[in-house]
Amino acid sequence: MKDDFIEMEECNYNDSGCNCQHLCEMVPCPNYIVCGTKNRRCILDCHNGHCMSCAVLCYSEEVPYTFDIQKATEECPICLEIKEYDVKRLHCKHRICSDCFKRCHLEIGIDRSDGPKFPYPKLENDYLNDNAEVRTKLAEDPLTILWEEDCEKWEYEKSELEQKTLGICAICRR
């Protein structure tokens, strides 16, 4: 176990590719079709062989870590299209296409651009990327504080609405 820790510490993996002495390879999460995540094996092994997104979702939903993904044979009851893959819904076990599953359970592909607008557009990227100088400068700014409060309220309301609409099965209404 200690040797595993040392190996992981010595690994010089970076996002642009793999160039470590252990020849680490990017391995897809077993739910790759849904989550689109690849990581080093040592990272996946920390979460029962899955990416962090799938591990968190499955832990909170108390469902198996590996989703039931198969080649689609029928039209999705949500988008009414036949996609390449479909997945069993977590709550009721009806099958929906992988794209709708992503939107319903992983919130992938949900448009969040209609939220509150940052009061200083030229500083927005720096502020959102945690630029310390910009964050410090705007920390006590009344417009920024109001924007932060509006964002929290908007996120909460948007999340509540999405849970009510996307979380309901189009077939059984559960």
pLDDT tens digit sequence for 90-146: 667 788 888 888 777 666 655 556 788 889 989 888 888 878 888 888 889 999 999
**DSSP code of residue 120:** -
Look up residue 57 and give its two tokens.
């979702």
- Please say whether the beta carbons of 35 and 106 come within 8 A: yes
Distance of CA 147 to the CA centre of its chain: 24
Q: How confident is the model at residue 149 (pLDDT cuts 50, 70, 90)?
A: very high
Q: Flag whether the pTM goes above 0.85.
A: no
- Dist. CA 11–CA 52, nearest whole Å: 20
DSSP helix/strand/coil, 31: coil
Per-residue pLDDT, 12: 46
CA quadruple 107, 109, 115, 121: dihedral, nearest 10: 130
Give 42-90 pLDDT, tens digit per residue.
Answer: 778 877 788 877 777 666 555 666 778 889 888 888 889 988 988 887 6
| Domain spans of the chain, in order of start | 1-67
